[in-house]
Amino acid sequence: LAKTTQPISMDSYEGQEVNITCSHNNIATNDYITWYQQFPSQGPRFIIQGYKTKVTNEVASLFIPADRKSSTLSLPRVSLSDTAVYYCLVGYGGATNKLIFGTGTLLAVQP
Amino acid sequence: GAVVSQHPSWVICKSGTSVKIECRSLDFQATTMFWYRQFPKQSLMLMATSNEGSKATYEQGVEKDKFLINHASLTLSTLTVTSAHPEDSSFYICSARDLGQGNSYEQYFGPGTRLTVT
């Protein structure tokens, strides 16, 4: 299973764009990259998933370079409610695929 | 999207008693579910993989006789913490993947169960 490395914490202000980078040097050919958001005392919530290049949905964008050894989650115009822990995970999407969580990044958004 | 529920959402029990936590996939079937434990200000730690109709697979360091897992149907997995002690107090979270979503590899997480052992 690929190991991921993220910054432990980040600070931002409301309305700014936030980019959280994840390093996954030993990502396998079949691995997907998935980002989750977790608020205190809640289960993780799916944000976005990608395999290569760029993926965008209604809440975020995911940028993956050609070598796929890293990825960047981009949150446009963050608000106070985006304060949470963000986890980057890599893994093959089989039915029995285990998701191993890293330390995550605590994003603190200030007014 | 698919929904995973957990019951109870929180429970307080006395040391030495057993507690059962249920994990249900509400609108999809899951042959495999996962159980995690999370201590305050720490990341989620995978405890075991729950397989419908067969024995669970436990991660290294997790006592299978203490954390009993039963995957009785395609929509229900239970985790029983036997002879609970204060050090078992934690946030327990389950997850499952919707096999009916084609190429989606999204795993859905339950809301978690807060266990406090006094």
The whole-angstrom distance between A32's CA and the closest CA on chain B is: 8
Taking each continuous run of H as one helix and of E as one strand, the counts in chain B are 0, 11
The whole-angstrom distance between A45's CA and the closest CA on chain B is: 7
Helix (H, G, I), strand (E, B) or coil at A84: strand
In this prediction, residue A99 carries a pLDDT of 78
pLDDT tens-place string over residues B5-34: 999 999 999 999 999 999 999 988 888 899
* Mean pLDDT, contiguous 10-residue spans, chain A (111 residues): 87 97 89 93 93 94 96 97 95 68 94 95
- As given in the structure block, the two tokens for residue A61 are 């964008």
pLDDT tens-place string over residues B41-82: 999 999 999 988 889 999 999 999 999 999 989 999 999 999
> Which band of pLDDT confidence, cut at 50, 70 and 90, is reported for residue B100?
low
Nearest to A46 among B51, B106, B110 (CB): B106
In this prediction, residue B2 carries a pLDDT of 82
Number of A–B residue contacts, CB under 8 Å? 63
DSSP code at position B29: -
Q: What is the mean pLDDT of residues B97-114?
A: 76
Strand intervals (E) in chain A:
9-13, 18-23, 32-38, 45-50, 53-56, 61-64, 70-75, 84-91, 105-110
In this prediction, residue B104 carries a pLDDT of 54
CB A47 within 8 A of CB A105: no
Residues in Cβ contact with B13 at an 8 Å cutoff, skipping those fewer than 6 apart: B19, B84, B115, B116, B117, B118
User: Are B112 and A104 an interchain contact pair (Cβ–Cβ within 8 Å)?
Assistant: no
pLDDT tens-place string over residues B26-36: 988 888 899 99
Whether B99 has a pLDDT exceeding 80, the answer reads no
